[in-house]
Amino acid sequence: MPLSPARTRLLVGAGVVLLALNLRPAVNAVGAVIPVLQPDVGLSGTGSGLLLSLPTVAFAVLGLSAPRVAERFGAERTVVAALAAMIVGQVLRSLVPGLPALFGGSLIALTGIAVANVLIPGLVRKSFPDRIAGMTAAYTVALTLGAALSAAVTLPFGDAVGGGWRTGLALWAATAAVAMVPWLAVAHVPTEKERADTPERIGLGRLARTSMAWVLAGFFGTQALIAYVTFGWLPSIAVDRGLSTTAAGLQVTLATAVGLPVAAIVPLILGRARRPGLLVLALSAGYVLGFGGLILQVGPIWLLATLIGVGTGVFPLVLTLIALRARTTAGALSLSAFTQSVGYLLASAGPVGFGALHDATGDWTVPLLALLVVAVAQAVLGLSATRPRYIEDALSRR
């Protein structure tokens, strides 16, 4: 029996929220268990950094195939396939011993996440054209909650039920299975009208010839690099500062929780700010103070994690700037694809480079100094990115 439009809309809304809730646990949960995973599987700091770098590589490369796959099979069916990949990948890396299963399962799960990252905004626009802001807010809150819960719950859950970090990681395969239920109900082949409504894209090669696209990509990439290094390595730094593994994982949860209200207000402030560069500097200052405190070992870890959480507000800021720097939907989509692809490729060097520096020096000081330099570069790029201009204008001048 065909679903009514109202019921379809309700199922898609629930599906979007549940899907968003699962977009970060496969990433953040690994960082939370790294302190116990490393000795258990014999993984070096460089190897751990490589594992933590996989998300950025997947998001940069694998997500590019999502529009074409969705056009052929339908967006809803593609979401089902993405969730299936998330389930299979997380079960494989959790239950099958050995480094090949750990890395291979992570890559499979991240492929599903990369595709879902690209599809969600289009699904919201398609099913909720009159409630884009509300659904985007719900999606952002769910995504942030998923990130926070995975950092806080993974290791305690695994220890409580037995199986340690492996059982903790397997928990998120179960939540992905729950998220698949509404999408199975609405999965269908796209209609001719849906195919006709696909906007014409601006070639990424054309964007690559503009300085504006590179500035935004650099701004996105530096903030993503900092975020993935922080969420991946902060627990290990905290353990070396004397915290238990559970308490260390909670520092990531704290940073994420602080970032939630920041993320809610930053786009509103940016839209009204007469001098948006000051917002860039204020958010970047959170990173500078947090990393500076870790280097000097001054202040409690929870306070430094709070400051770092303020710095994460750069993420919604750069996403808002991508939309503001385009006059058309096609321009915004192409600029977003270029910015995120190049940005995530840049960010992929962060976790592995951070781990390699720690291996080489045997201390956290040099890696944190390098991260501090990246935070300053992020601020400089952000100041340039906030200048009022449009990508279509830049392309017309070439």
pLDDT tens for each residue of 228-250 = 888 778 888 888 888 887 788 77
Which tokens sit at 362?
């045997």
197 vs 280: which has the higher pLDDT: 280
Residue of 129, 128, 174, 114 lying closest to 11 (CA atoms): 128
Q: What span, in angstroms and rounded, lies between the C-alpha atoms of 303 and 317? A: 23
Query: Does 198 have pLDDT greater than 50?
Result: no
Q: What span, in angstroms and rounded, lies between the C-alpha atoms of 221 and 28? A: 18
Residue of 316, 291, 317, 295 lying closest to 374 (CA atoms): 291
Give the burial string for 299-329 (b: 16+ CB within 10 Å, else e). eebeebbbbbbbbbbbbbbbbbbbebbbeee
Q: What span, in angstroms and rounded, lies between the C-alpha atoms of 324 and 270? A: 10
Dihedral sign (CA 117, 119, 122, 123): negative
Which tokens sit at 165?
């970090």
- CA 137 to chain CA centroid, nearest Å: 16
Per DSSP, helices labelled H in the chain are: 5-21, 25-41, 45-61, 66-73, 75-95, 99-127, 132-161, 164-186, 192-196, 204-207, 211-240, 245-272, 276-296, 301-311, 314-324, 329-347, 349-361, 365-385, 391-396
- What is the 8-class DSSP label of residue 202? P
Task: Select from 1.20.1250.20, 3.40.1110.10, 3.40.50.1010, 3.40.640.10 the CATH code of 1-198.
Answer: 1.20.1250.20
Query: Does 222 have pLDDT greater than 90?
Result: yes
Residue of 297, 295, 226, 220 lying closest to 255 (CA atoms): 226
Side chain identity at residue 15, one-letter code: G
Tell me which range, 94-108, 119-133, 266-280, 334-348, is most confidently predicted by mean pLDDT. 94-108
Query: Does 182 have pLDDT greater than 70?
Result: yes
Name the pLDDT band for 197 (thresholds 50, 70, 90): very low
High-pLDDT (> 70) share of the chain, %:
89
**Angle of CA points 238, 243, 249, to nearest 5°:** 60
Give the burial string for 93-103 (b: 16+ CB within 10 Å, else e). bbeeeeeebbb
Please report, for residues 8, 135, 273, 319, the alpha-carbon distance to residue 123 in angstroms, rounded to integers and kept in the order given: 12, 10, 30, 17
- Report pTM: 0.73
Query: Does 200 have pLDDT greater than 70?
Result: no
- Other CB atoms within 10 Å distance of the CB of residue 279: 18
Q: What span, in angstroms and rounded, lies between the C-alpha atoms of 398 and 394? A: 7
DSSP element (H, E) containing 128: none
Q: Domain 201-398: state its class.
A: mainly alpha
33 in Cβ contact with 167 (< 8 Å): no
**Angle of CA points 341, 344, 350, to nearest 5°:** 160
- In the chain, where are the structural domains located? 1-198, 201-398
Q: Is there a shared CATH topology between the 1-198 domain and the 201-398 domain?
A: yes
Which tokens sit at 238?
């905290």
Query: Does 64 have pLDDT greater than 50?
Result: yes
390 in Cβ contact with 325 (< 8 Å): yes
* pLDDT at 131 (0 to 100): 67
* pLDDT at 10 (0 to 100): 87
Length of the chain: 398
Query: Does 290 have pLDDT greater than 80?
Result: yes
Q: At what angle do helices 99-127 and 132-161 cross, to 10 degrees?
A: 150
* pLDDT at 189 (0 to 100): 47
